[in-house]
Amino acid sequence: MLKKILILNGPNLNMLGRRENDIYGIDTLDDIKLMCEQEAKNNGQTIVFRQTNIEGELVSWIQEALGEFDAIIINPAAYTHSSIAIHDAIKAVELPLIEVHLSNIYKREEFRQKSYISTVALGVICGLGKTGYKLALNALAEHDK
């Protein structure tokens, strides 16, 4: 069981609740954080939940997770489709990582259908809204290293 989980959120996810509600729903990132804290508690996991609009900050947080966390859940938001730096950081730390998206990126614009993260992820969950974060925590709770 992977106990200490780092949950990272990329750019514009701080705008959830007022951002394209038809696509992303009405929950705020704080609502999602609360749901994750509850689910982690039920699973006997501890989480740290963070958001940034800055690519390099995500890279640093992934690097710093080494030795501090057992696994990472990340919604890289728009950096999913552009960031070789985040791809490389994930590869470097070799921690199990689940990529989460609220929306189904494969049903949307063509530029969203390419992920630089999926090839270095343990698994990918998309299109299930905030439930995706919950499922990722549960998957890590059942995952053997």
Site string for ligand DQA, 27-66 (x = CB under 6 A): ----------------------------------------
Show the beta-strand stretches assigned E in the chain. 4-9, 46-51, 71-75, 97-101, 123-126
Q: Which is nearer to ligand DQA, 70 or 75 (CB)?
A: 75
Site residues for ligand DQA, 92-121, by CB under 6 A, read 101-103, 105, 112
Pairing outcome for strands 4-9 and 123-126: unpaired
Nearest approach, Cβ of residue 70 and ligand DQA (Å): 23
Distance CA 69, CA 80 (A): 22
Task: Between 71 and 77, name the residue whose CB sits nearer to ligand DQA.
Answer: 77
Total number of residues binding ligand DQA (CB under 6 A)? 10
Phi (first) and psi of residue 20, to 5 degrees: 35, 60
Would you say 34 and 57 are in contact if contact means Cβ atoms under 8 Å apart? Answer: no
3-state secondary structure of 4: strand
The residue ranges that bind ligand DQA (CB under 6 A) are 12, 75, 77-78, 80, 101-103, 105, 112
